[in-house]
Amino acid sequence: MEQILENLSEKLKNANEHEKRNKEYSSISTDEERVKFTMGLIHEHNVQLLMKFEEKSASQSVLYRNEGNKLFTSHNLSLNKTIEMYTKSIAFAPISSKELSIAYANRSAALFTARLYNACLLDIGRALTLNYEQRLRVKLYARRVKCLIMLKKKSDTEVDKAIEEARMWLDKMDMNNPKRSVIEETLTNPEKIVTIETEFVKWEEEKYCPNIHDKNQEIIGASSAVELRYSDEFGKHILATRDIKPGEVLALEECYTSVLIPEKFYTNCSYCLTQTWSLIPCDACVTVLYCNDECKNAAWEEFHDIECKVIGSLVGVGMNNLGLMSLRLAVKALKEAKSFNNLKLLIDLADNAKDPRTNGFTDGKLDDTKYISVYTLARNTEKRSIPDLFGRSLNAVYIVYMLATRSKMFGKVLNNNLENLVNNQFVTFIGGLIMRHQQIIPSNVHSIFDNYGMHYALHPKNYRLSRLYQQFRFVCNCRSCIEDWPTFPNVPSFWYYELAVRAEVEDNSEIVEDLLNIVNVFFERVSLPCRELNEIIETLKEKSASQSVLYRNEGNKLFTSHNLSLNKTIEMYTKSIAFAPISSKELSIAYANRSAALFTARLYNACLLDIGRALTLNYEQRLRVKLYARRVKCLIMLKKKSDTEVDKAIEEARMWLDKMDMNNPKRSVIEETLTNPEKIVTIETEFVKWEEEKYCPNIHDKNQEIIGASSAVELRYSDEFGKHILATRDIKPGEVLALEECYTSVLIPEKFYTNCSYCLTQTWSLIPCDACVTVLYCNDECKNAAWEEFHDIECKVIGSLVGVGMNNLGLMSLRLAVKALKEAKLDDTKYISVYTLARNTEKRSIPDLFGRSLNAVYIVYMLATRSKMFGKVLNNNLENLVNNQFVTFIGGLIMRHQQIIPSNVHSIFDNYGMHYALHPKNYRLSRLYQQFRFVCNCRSCIEDWPTFPNVPSFWVQRLANVNNEKLNYAMVKFSKYYELAVRAEVEDNSEIVEDLLNIVNVFFERVSLPCRELNEIIETLKRVYSLLANRFQSLD
């Protein structure tokens, strides 16, 4: 949608019509007229409404199935991801195809492993009903036998019947298939199948649903503790009729409709929203799946017959949940009314209602199962800006355009001529409703808790008031706003306490009641605001034993899950380490627990480090023998059996065995390990970390002026482009132009608990900063170096920046300022190479500059009041700070960095991040100017090359036969590397880069540009480079 808006905006700008059209739009009073105007504008300026959607595809289904197979056979199995990949394969498989049968069959294997035996039986039945290969059918029948036995139906004739059916297909199986003997054993001796593991039990959500005992007589589903009021200031709103107790349920409403967020398309039913591992697909589209045929048929009747060809397009252009819900409401409204005329009549009655309080009632009640209760909700149109409204009308036009041209909502699929559509009264009527929904939804999305999403303890008053007005269009006058309560940690304390946090609530039915009792105790005895009351709801990010326990419990839960994810498990234990107070018991336990996960991941050297750290701290004596025994196993796994080191480790372990409880079930296992260490199996070698350095290329002809650059480029300056690089000769595809050591770098917050904050290396045995919780290091060398170079100043600051949502630009601006000051003390001038980079100040707008200066103020304020950058921690009086020359000097540098960084962040590839094949010319020019402040005049822009998939193939070019033969041969070779790149299996293919570069050269020498195949090859090459250098290695 952003691209469509950019294209329209560019055309209005070129026609000098912005101001004129803005005035015309601002005079419109109804949503339907706004939609008409917007649709007419798009037609008048010939703006294309792009369609991007995915369809059923056998090859795409195979791709997802292969990804599922890869996950399923991984030594670190993640069943959630495996099942999701097989479900995607099912969604994309053409209906009744061989690919669909295989996808069901493969998912049934994963479901069996997950102990979802009933779901497994469903998929087996689906695969057998389809065209599943006869030679492999016996595998499914044998799996059905095992499922029935696991479901404790051994005595049933059902098992005997299943065995008999399986035997009928055994002869079809290849005699040399290694699984044949296993299947024969299963069918011959079914009584030997172990049934210790019961079926995985899904949580019963309904049993946790509360009740309302005193029902409201006017609002269906609400409590009598509230009533509906109306005022000119607030519109329709709810007020309490009495004191409401903490935790009291005020409403249990059946929603009018709901939509599934795209992230859950392949894990949850698109009708009832239930998490389901055996989803079945829509027969026509790839974006919705259902838990069973009942939901599938109900969805088709209620909305999906219309949405089927539309929803994929909305997702394809990046339409958010607001767009999906706006569409669904329109479809449901028409279905409920049964005709356009009935719906218009219903809406006319609502628009002309005399009592605004009861407008939207049905038979004297507010019934949330009726569309009119939604239609009459607040939308705050008169308080919205013109850009806000225009953006919503543009979304509405796109949605109704797709409904008109891809569905039969209007009786038939209409022609895509916008002039005809703008004159179709039903199209514009529905478009107007969708625009109304676009305003209703954000104005009414909030929870009935102690805030609207802006908590006084987390956000200052002015920020809260601004954000609340922006979304809900009202000025809040709650007690915390009127009295301007302070933010955390300045909230006054009642006394210090620790609340033990438990992550596993499924079998603790009393936890909700207990927590409500705790809240009541505080509400009845303390004055508000109160810090401890906040801590029950919010989590404070600083060293905290209780927070460390929370992350440790989450790690324990993941580690013992049947869907083990070692990456996530280790990350949770690392967070526990980061939050544990220094030298605390919690820190020792976190190290000990992480060592167990590291051992399972075959990271034996890392495991030994964590064992040593836990033993150095206050780890419990009664459990120490577990760590010593684990050390023995690590040493043996590292092939040090003959070393005295193993004997010494066994001796140390024996010294602690007596401290262990005699009844501990693990004692006998440990005794066996220490008595017979030679029985420890050493088949699995240690997990090998990728060697990034070995993929570092070389520059053979070095530049004499630019350190780290090739002589193929030189530095120039012009008034138009400022400082820039130009080629001194033809550059070959794949030639390395620069290998620079960066001045400094920062770790993005998503990698805080997986990578070293100094050298950025992915490390599974990170150690924490002693004072803060946001940075960790791979070893003491990095920790000490970081403290010397920057972290002594940043330690108390970086958490605040992350806490207020400061992005990487803010973190890098801070780091540059700290490094610059440190460097100046050493009389070193490397910083000047950064300081003199382009910043494009004169080309920036006032709002852009002001936003950057506001960020700079916040950063330097934190530096002044929380660090000793200026010699000591300064008072937080802004009047004093603004008169401090050093504070404002550093603030100015940070503001400069805020402009330098985005003006210079790009890669030397074939584009600046705006690729001609992915983005149309006007969009590229606009975005490039927005970030880099220049007008691009590359060949693709000058010649206006088409976007993919309209980029021509080399097949349409008239090439000599000898060229075609070489290109075809190159494509065959490329297809192999493409598959490896998709599967990220490039580690042991040292020739892949060289071969891909040779393929690029073959194409460059023989085809005209642009060329579709050449694009694909270059994008694959870029992915390979990324995998070999900037990568995150998975243990799962």
How confident is the model over 41-80, as pLDDT tens digits? 999 988 888 777 788 999 999 999 999 998 888 766 788 9
Residue 591, H or E segment: helix 585-600
Q: Please, what is the average pLDDT of the chain?
A: 84
pLDDT for res 534: 53
Give me the percent of the chain exceeding a pLDDT of 70.
85
Tell how far CA 893 is from the center of its chain.
Answer: 33
The answer to whether position 691 is within a domain reads no
Q: Is 835 inside any structural domain?
A: yes
Distance of alpha carbon 412 from alpha carbon 427, whole angstroms: 12
Q: Is 559 part of any domain?
A: yes
Tell me how many degrees the CA angle 207-208-214 measures, rounded to the nearest 5: 100
Kindly state whether residue 785 falls inside one of the protein's structural domains.
Answer: yes
Bond into 529 cis (ω within 30): yes
Determine the Cα–Cα distance for residues 255 and 370; give it in Å rounded to an integer: 10
Distance of CA 954 to the CA centre of its chain: 37
Q: pLDDT tens digit string along 744-770?
A: 889 988 899 999 999 998 999 999 999
Query: What's the full length of the chain, in residues?
Result: 1036
| Bridge partners of residue 230, in order along the sequence | 236
Summarize pLDDT for 854-877 with one digit per residue, the tens.
999 999 999 999 999 999 999 989
Same domain flag for 422 and 503 = no
In one letter, which amino acid is 562?
H
Residue 873 lies in a domain: yes
**Which tokens hold the place of 674?**
């220490």
Are residue 494 and residue 469 in the same domain, yes or no?
yes
Q: Give the best-scoring range by mean pLDDT among 7-11, 218-222, 329-333, 832-836.
A: 329-333
If asked whether residues 269 and 329 sit together in one domain, one would say yes
| Nearest by Cα to 39 from 400, 433, 406, 405 | 400
Helices 137-150 and 180-188 sit at what angle, rounded to 10 degrees?
A: 40
Q: Say whether both 343 and 411 belong to one domain.
A: yes
169 and 141 Cβ atoms separated by less than 8 Å: yes
221: left (phi over 0), alpha (psi -120 to 50) or beta: left
β strands within 205-358, DSSP E = 226-231, 235-240, 280-281, 289-290
The amino acid at 686: E
Q: Is 176 contained in some domain?
A: no
Burial class of residue 147 (count of CB atoms within 10 Å of its CB; 0-12, 13-18, 19+): buried
Which residues lie closer than 8 Å to 268 by C-beta, 6 or more apart? Answer: 260, 274, 275, 276, 279
Prior bond of 697 cis (ω within 30°)? no
The CATH number that applies at residue 632 is 1.25.40.10
Domain count, the chain: 6
Residues 380 and 413 in one domain: yes
> Which of 754, 753, 727, 752 has its CA nearest to residue 738?
727
Residues 807 and 896 in one domain: yes
Contacts of residues 627-630 at CB distance under 8 Å and 24 or more positions apart, as own/partner, are 627/592, 627/595, 628/652, 628/653, 628/656, 629/653, 629/670, 629/673, 629/674, 630/595, 630/596, 630/599
Identify the domain boundary among 658, 674, 690: 674
pLDDT value of position 509? 43
Domain that holds residue 563: 545-674
Query: For position 255, what pLDDT does the model report?
Result: 86
pLDDT of residue 232: 84
> Rounded to an integer, what distance in angstroms lies between the CA atom of residue 415 and that of residue 429?
17
Say whether both 896 and 1016 belong to one domain. Answer: no
User: Cis peptide leading into 581, omega within 30 of 0?
Assistant: no
State which of 142-156, 474-488, 521-535, 549-563 shows the largest mean pLDDT.
549-563
Concatenated DSSP letters for 434-474?
HHHHHHHHHHS---SSSSSS--TTTS-HHHHHHHHHHHH--
Considering the domain architecture, whether residues 481 and 557 belong to the same structural domain is answered as: no
Q: Let me know whether 331 and 430 are in one domain.
A: yes
- 338 CB-contact burial (10 Å; exposed 0-12 / middle 13-18 / buried 19+): exposed
Q: Check whether 507 has a pLDDT greater than 60.
A: no
Whether residue 496 is predicted with pLDDT greater than 50 in this model: the reply is no
Confidence of residue 464 (pLDDT cuts 50, 70, 90): confident
Residue 461 and residue 454: Cα distance in Å, rounded?
Answer: 9
DSSP state of 263: G
Residue 365 above 90 pLDDT?
yes
What radius of gyration do the chain's Cα atoms show? 33
Clarify whether residues 850 and 958 are in a common domain. Answer: no
Q: Which has the closest alpha carbon to 326: 264, 266, 391? A: 391
Q: Are 3 and 920 contacting, i.e. CB atoms less than 8 angstroms apart?
A: yes
Distance in angstroms (rounded) separating the CA atoms of residues 108 and 1022: 36
Residue 725 DSSP SS3: strand
Cα gap 545→9, rounded to integer Å: 54
Residue type, 458: L
Weakest-pLDDT range from 147-156, 255-264, 328-337, 379-388? 147-156
622: left (phi over 0), alpha (psi -120 to 50) or beta: alpha
pLDDT-based confidence at residue 195 (cuts at 50, 70, 90): low
Strand pairing report for 235-240 and 226-231: antiparallel
Maximum separation of any 2 CA atoms in the chain, in Å: 93
Helices (H), 773-837: 780-786, 792-794, 798-803, 808-825, 832-835
Q: Is residue 151 predicted with pLDDT exceeding 80?
A: yes
Over the stretch 606-633, which tens digit does the pLDDT of each residue have?
999 999 999 999 799 889 999 999 999 8
pLDDT at 541: 38
- Kindly tell me the burial class for residue 290, based on how many C-beta atoms sit within 10 Å of its own C-beta (0-12, 13-18, 19 or more): buried
Last residue of a domain, one of 640, 655, 674: 674
List the Cα angle 96/102/104 in 5-degree steps: 80
Is residue 930 included in any domain, yes or no? no
Query: In the predicted model, what is the mean pLDDT of residues 375-383?
Result: 89
- Rounded to whole angstroms, the Cα distance separating 58 from 93 reads 5
Sign of the C-alpha dihedral computed for residues 557, 561, 567 and 570 taken in this order = positive
By the 8 A CB rule, do 765 and 603 touch?
Answer: yes
- What secondary structure letter does DSSP report for 709? B
Report whether the peptide linkage leading into residue 949 is cis, meaning its omega lies within 30 degrees of zero.
yes
529 and 553: one domain?
no
Q: Is residue 156 part of a domain?
A: no
CA distances to 222, 328, 394 from 467, rounded to whole Å, are 28, 27, 24
Per the CB < 8 A criterion, the answer to whether 225 and 218 are in contact is no
Higher pLDDT, residue 693 or 54: 54
Please state the pTM of the whole predicted model.
0.53
Same domain, 333 and 416: yes
Q: To 10 degrees, what angle do helices 921-932 and 2-14 make?
A: 90
Among residues 251, 279, 305, the one where a domain terminates is 251
Angle at 108 between CA 105 and CA 114, to 5 degrees: 155
Q: Work out the angle between the directed axes of helices 425-443 and 31-44 (0-180°, nearest 10).
A: 120
